[in-house]
Amino acid sequence: MAQSADEMSLQVVSAVSNSALLQPGFSLLNFHGDVFFFGQKGWPKRSCPTGVFLLDIKQNELKLKPAFFSKDSCYLPPLRYPALCTLRSNAEPDEYQYIIHGGKTPNNDLSDKLYVMSLVSKNSKKTTFQCIEKDLGGDVPEARYGHTINVVHSRGKSISVIFGGRSYTPLVQRTTEKWNSVVDCLPSVFLIDFEFGCCTSYILPELQDGFAFHVSLARNDTVYILGGHSLQNNTRLPSLYKLKVDLPLGSPAVTCTILPGGISVSSAIVTQTSDAEFVLVGGYQSDNQKRLVCNTIVLEDNKIEIVERVNPDWTPDIKHCRMWFGCDMGKGCVLLGIPGANKQFISDANYFYILRCKGAEKDKEEELTAQICSQTSTEDPGDSTPFEDSEEFCFSAEANNFDVDDTDTYNEDDEEDESETGYWITCSASCNIDINTWVPFYSTELNKPAMILCSSRAGHWVHAQCMDLSESMLLHLSESNVKYFCNEHVDLNKGLQTPKKVVHLKKQPMKPLRRKSMMKLTTPVKKSFLRRLFE
């Protein structure tokens, strides 16, 4: 196989502090040269409720700067391993949106929702996005992760293509021992019409087995699917499929062709270097062996060409580490990360690199028009040591890609420790609120749990959910001017409270009965009446 002579440079990035926020499965969004991070570990904190951060590189440091959502945006949970691609506007080619489908939430629930994120405004101090959830109907794809989504164009129309991924075992097939086991999704191809939200599934005879963590590239009306990992067979077959989508006036038509020259790889990263050229880097060729070979992929009108290229000078740490992860930064750059050797003792022991697949000054303003989508991070690490949560990602780098004011850059030291105070306290002995697994319980909650003040002694705050309060009761207590006592102090409050003052009713004097009336009373009644009269 011929090799591409284009050089690749690997830049070491030294972590300064708190880099553990980036976990396998994160995503990077490139809006007009600005790179944004999405898919953090754990639920967003109040410092950045959106969970979307600007990667701000300035003065040899890279920091996470919180981004904001517009008021008409929906709630977007932090999703890892989602399917993600760009959707360009037909009227304004320079304007585009990101489509996000599926993925894992911090408590390992799978999402079946589709979100559309667009840039509303950006200045040196604030970046605002609009996030909208798209309603889907028809053959809606089941909740999944590790899949891909692309946009194809045919006969002046556009449609998205979803394929692959993994999901949990159906409820009827689950057992206690394997309750959270995952399986490959059926090898169905889903077409989604963004204008009407209609979903249609197709079963093609060429696609026999399901797989996930593959790479997909789209150009015009064609999607190329490369590599992937099958759980059923535990294999990474050198597969290469060509999906062609035709959008006539009637129903869409989808055909599949098996092509030779595939690559046995999963979880690879793809970055685009020119209009028709891509670079494939990273991934795994077996469960315990990383793939250190890089490839150039060229897409022409009706064919695909894959050739090896000169590899970067991998460092010994990269060569000998068991796992690695990363994501495409756009314009021929890839952010790579490896866990440190002592990560079980040091929470921020991740090492990062920026891989540049073309010269730093080459084609800086080049417009990338082809669609690209890949599962850019490694499969779930499984029994590997989990990284610690963080709210700031700051490391040194020799880059001048951004020129953003340092004002309003988030610094974790500027806030109080929410693990001890604020919303993430242990409010009672039965408290089960965990910052890493909490999900909204009441309709009024967004990014933090609802709390209510217990009026015992000095008073303390408790989570409404831990107190088993219904939503109607919580609203009643918040609107009424009454004292509330938590489950642990309600009995004590009853014992210490001042007895209510008993109001004695004034007895009205009874009018004496006439003699004739008393004569009509029987003897027992007369005796009872006289007794009460003279008491």
Please report which helix (H) or strand (E) contains residue 193, including its range.
strand 188-193
Residues annotated in a binding site? 427, 431, 454, 460, 463, 466, 486, 489
DSSP string spanning 402-444?
A: -----TT---GGGS--TTTSGGGS--STT----TTT----STT
Cα separation of 50 and 509, whole Å? 74
Please name which of 222, 261, 226 lies closest in space to residue 241, comparing C-alpha atoms.
Answer: 226
Residue type, 325: F
Residue among 252, 165, 243 nearest 204 (CA): 243
Phi and psi torsions of 44, nearest 5°: -60, 145
Q: What is the DSSP string of 442-468?
A: STT-SSS--EEEE-STT-EEEETTTTT
**The amino acid at 299:** L
Is 506 in a helix, a strand, or coil?
coil
Distance of CA 261 to the CA centre of its chain: 34
User: CA-to-CA distance for 516 and 531, rounded, in angstroms?
Assistant: 19
Ranges of beta strands (E only) in 212-258 are: 215-219, 222-226, 240-246, 253-258
Which residues are known binding-site members for Zn(2+)?
427, 431, 454, 460, 463, 466, 486, 489
Q: Which residue type is seen at 265?
A: V
Lookup: tokens for 388: 């610690």
Q: What does the alpha-carbon distance between residue 89 and residue 157 come to, in Å, rounded to a whole number?
A: 12
The answer to whether 78 and 44 are in contact (CB under 8 A) is yes
Provide the 8-state DSSP code for 93.
T
Beta pairing partners, 163: 148, 189
